[in-house]
Amino acid sequence: KPGEQKHPKEPSSLQCMHLAVVACGDRLEETLIMLKSAVLFSNRRLCLHIFAEDSLKPEFEKKLKEWPSSYTKKFESNIYPITFSVGNAQEWKKLFKPCAAQRLFLPVILKDVDSLLYVDTDVLFLRPIDDIWHLLREFNSTQLAAMAPEHEIPKIGWYSRFARHPYYGTTGVNSGVMLMNLTRIRSTQFKNSLIPGGLTWEEMLYPLYQKYKNYITWGDQDLLNIIFYFNPECLYVFPCQWNYRPDHCMYGSNCRGAEEEGVSILHGNRGVYHDDKQPTFKALYEVIRDFPFEDNLFQSLYYPLQSKFLDTVHTLCGRIPQVFLKQIEKTMKKVYENRVIVYLGANHRY
């Protein structure tokens, strides 16, 4: 139709799934464990985009090369320096946690990438990335990014109680897992509170930050909430099991999707992998960290996990172990079956 905006085709035909992460300070190990969980279970090839401080780059290169070839052949990786294309780099760096604001610039930096999954360093995949990548096909003609709600229940949600700026929906959204169609982001004019007309993503970022910087608490996540408050038709909201955090179980169980399907992506924010406040989250992190790549998944990953979980049943999150185990068990069965079939096929004599 005349005047109708043409959107690029969904990138299922592209060769690999693009995964981005930003790592600064002491986040090297956490990032590597996240990448390990992604590579462990993914089916299609991965393109990893790691944005890191200069001091971490050699460490990432060294550690990734140490992985066995059966895993390194499943991905290619690029490591980039931390850069901000507009505004004051020092200001962006100090926004919330070191370098976290880098994620806002991914559409500008990765100009040749059509679609991308961004995750925080404290995320663990409990099923193949392929499954969340398929959600790109669910986007309607105006949607260009997907995030999960910050909370399920407004009366205990952070934004609904404390935010001093506009935010998306009734509880805001959490930016720790963000699926993006970068092509659409780059070509869209966004409504905003700065000028009556639209602004491109890059034009909007710094003025928006300047306007709201005295009101925001969670840095870049707040800016994303402000953007999608003014452009709600651009956001696809995926269910809480794709970004499952301690908040979903520490106030009672409030993520129905996880109860029905199991946790798909675990997000250990609040530092829970490294303290004893949420032993279930820590157990998953440690078991994936300690898994020797070439070992049997059930023997070296699932059974240790089950036994660690027995020690957490007295905790608020530990009393619902099936929520944490359901997806990972299903995923491992599939991986195991695929390997057995491939192995039998390779050794079959006619």
Q: What is the pLDDT of residues 15-31, one digit of tens each?
A: 899 999 999 999 999 99
* Separation CA 102–CA 121 (nearest Å): 13
The pLDDT score that the predictor gives to residue 325 is: 93
The pLDDT score that the predictor gives to residue 260 is: 94
pTM of the shown model? 0.91
Whether residue 62 sits in one domain with residue 111: yes
The pLDDT score that the predictor gives to residue 345 is: 56
* Separation CA 135–CA 131 (nearest Å): 7
The number of helices, as runs of H, and strands, as runs of E, in the chain is 16, 9
The pLDDT score that the predictor gives to residue 141 is: 97
The pLDDT score that the predictor gives to residue 93 is: 73
Angle at 111 between CA 109 and CA 113, to 5 degrees: 110
Whether residue 206 sits in one domain with residue 250: no
The torsion angle over the Cα atoms of residues 254, 21, 17 and 67, rounded to 10 degrees, is -110
Whether residue 156 sits in one domain with residue 46: yes
* Separation CA 58–CA 285 (nearest Å): 24
**Is 46 part of any domain?**
yes
**Is 7 part of any domain?**
no
**Is 171 part of any domain?**
yes
* Separation CA 205–CA 86 (nearest Å): 8
Which residues is 49 bridged to in the sheet? 20, 78
Total domains in the fold of the chain: 2
The pLDDT score that the predictor gives to residue 98 is: 60
Whether residue 258 sits in one domain with residue 129: no
Domain that holds residue 206: 17-238
Where a domain ends, among 238, 262, 278?
238
* Separation CA 225–CA 78 (nearest Å): 29
The pLDDT score that the predictor gives to residue 9 is: 43
The pLDDT score that the predictor gives to residue 344 is: 60
The pLDDT score that the predictor gives to residue 301 is: 92
* Separation CA 115–CA 131 (nearest Å): 14
**Is 12 part of any domain?**
no
Whether residue 173 sits in one domain with residue 55: yes
Measure Cα distances from 21 to 6, 38, 139, 209, 317 in Å.
30, 12, 23, 22, 27
The pLDDT score that the predictor gives to residue 42 is: 93
Please give the average pLDDT of every successive group of 10 residues along the chain, which has 350 residues.
41 74 95 97 96 95 96 96 81 71 93 97 97 97 96 73 77 94 98 93 92 83 93 97 94 89 96 95 97 89 92 91 93 81 55
